[in-house]
Amino acid sequence: MKLSAFLLLLTVLLSSGGCGAPGKERRFLETTFDTESYPVQESWNITLSVYDAGFRKGTVRAGHATEYRQKGKNTFHLDRGVTVTVYNRDKNPPTVIKAAKAIIHGNQDIEASGNVVASTGNGTVIRTGYLKRTAADRMIRSNRHVTISGREGLIEGYGFESDQSLKRYRIFRGSGEALIR
């Protein structure tokens, strides 16, 4: 009996702790929400095709994608295995870029990172940790260690730039073996 009376008294005291005269301070509901830190939308196992005037410019595949809207600009963050295929108008084989992660900016610039491998049907294969393809000039660049292998041999260095067909490239601070004809 004493225990139940004690519990009843304790319950009354604890529940009445919030009762009392209202304060003069008026509180408002906090409504600010940082929308730029959170994705606008999210998708899994995606395939996107990009067309321009009826011509297929590219295809993007990823295991996971999130879209962010920051300062009025959209960016897509892709991960869980990314494959970007860039088609050329001049009937060259497409360039295929594979990476662990990528970011596609609103102007269609693509940044790929994590075991990046870029290849074409002409046999050129580029391996690096980071790669950026700019849409304005259709160039592929990296400022990191890069290995380029192809019919001419194997070249390594730090930094490179190439056309998106991987036909004309230059490597900075390079070393390696090449077949001279």
Q: Tell me, what CATH number does 139's domain have?
A: 2.60.450.10
Q: Is the pLDDT of residue 89 over 80?
A: no
Report the distance separating Cα 4 and Cα 74, nearest Å. Answer: 62
- Per residue in 38-87, pLDDT (tens digit) is 888 999 999 988 888 888 888 999 999 999 988 888 899 999 999 998 88
Examine residue 26 and state whether it is found in any structural domain, yes or no. no
Cα dihedral sign, 56-80-112-38 = positive
Q: What is the pLDDT of residue 3?
A: 59
- Give this prediction's pTM: 0.72
Residues 6+ positions from 97 with CB-CB distance below 8 Å: 82, 83, 84, 85, 86, 110, 112, 116, 117, 118, 131, 133, 140
Examine residue 78 and state whether it is found in any structural domain, yes or no. yes
Examine residue 79 and state whether it is found in any structural domain, yes or no. yes
**Unique residue bearing structure tokens 């000039």:** 137
Position 19 confidence tier, pLDDT thresholds 50, 70, 90: low
Q: What is the pLDDT of residue 153?
A: 80
Number of domains in the chain: 1
Examine residue 2 and state whether it is found in any structural domain, yes or no. no
- Per residue in 110-146, pLDDT (tens digit) is 999 999 999 887 788 999 999 999 988 889 999 999 9
Examine residue 4 and state whether it is found in any structural domain, yes or no. no
Report the distance separating Cα 100 and Cα 108, nearest Å. Answer: 19
In this structure, are residues 120 and 92 in contact, taking their beta carbons and an 8 Å threshold?
yes
Domain that holds residue 92: 35-178
Examine residue 113 and state whether it is found in any structural domain, yes or no. yes
Examine residue 24 and state whether it is found in any structural domain, yes or no. no
Examine residue 7 and state whether it is found in any structural domain, yes or no. no
